[in-house]
Amino acid sequence: MRAYYFDNLEGDQRLPHDSGMDVSDEVLKSIGVLHWHIPVDAEGKYEQDISAIAKERNYKNHDVVAISKEGLGDEFETKIKSFYHEHMHEDEEIRYLLEGTGFFDVREHSSESWIRCHMGAGDLLVLPAGIYHRFTLDMGNRVRTMRLFKDEPKWIAHNRGDQTDANPFRLEYLKSIEVQ
């Protein structure tokens, strides 16, 4: 995974939007974002590694989601745009890419800048509950990803706004990164 500041220039959300300014692991950790690279292998060793992380983080369920033009048909562009709305979740978001490539953008609270995380097969990303983020494919237009859940699979996005800014999970997140 490569992380860098988003350039904020006009253009297709699936383009790199690379400012040329890389973001260090320390900056990611300071906003609660964790990541690992666990190669997807034919023997299935990656499944053991993912299971170990899931157990450590108390995750009990998972599913696999594929996003592509072929799979979504006429709804593809609408779905991609909906994933790109700035939002947060009340649970950690853990994604492991099995195939394809895409971008997770996370909001750096102190600067309000977007940090773009370009992920490929074998990349695992953990976003803390309450962090503002968004997702899009890159120009490859396809991804297959494993989503991990503490309980039953669910995905509820809370789009950014005054109400979400006051959400208890958002406030707890800000406290965890020591924002007053």
Name every residue whose Cβ is closer than 8 Å to that of residue 130 and which is 6 or more positions away in sequence. 88, 89, 90, 167, 169, 170, 171, 172, 173, 174, 176
Given this model, what pLDDT does residue 151 score?
83
Given this model, what pLDDT does residue 179 score?
63
**Domain residue spans of the chain:** 22-176
CATH 2.60.120.10: does it fit domain 22-176?
Answer: yes
Extract the annotated binding site for Ni(2+): 87, 89, 93, 133
- Encoded tokens for 5: 């500041």
Give kind and range of the element (H or E) at residue 52.
helix 45-56
What are 86-111's pLDDT values in tens digits?
999 999 999 999 999 999 999 999 99
Residue recorded with tokens 């971008």: 103
Q: Give me the long-range contacts of 58-62 (CB less than 8 A, separation at least 24).
A: 58/150, 59/94, 59/148, 59/149, 59/150, 60/149, 60/150, 60/151, 61/148, 61/149, 61/150, 61/151, 61/152, 61/153, 62/146, 62/147, 62/148, 62/149, 62/153
- Encoded tokens for 89: 């979740």
Given this model, what pLDDT does residue 180 score?
45
Extract the annotated binding site: 87, 89, 93, 133
Amino acid letter for position 30: S
Beta pairing class for 142-149 and 113-120: unpaired
Residue recorded with tokens 């989503």: 147
Given a cut of 50, the residues of the chain with pLDDT beneath it are 180
Extract the annotated binding site for Fe(2+): 87, 89, 93, 133
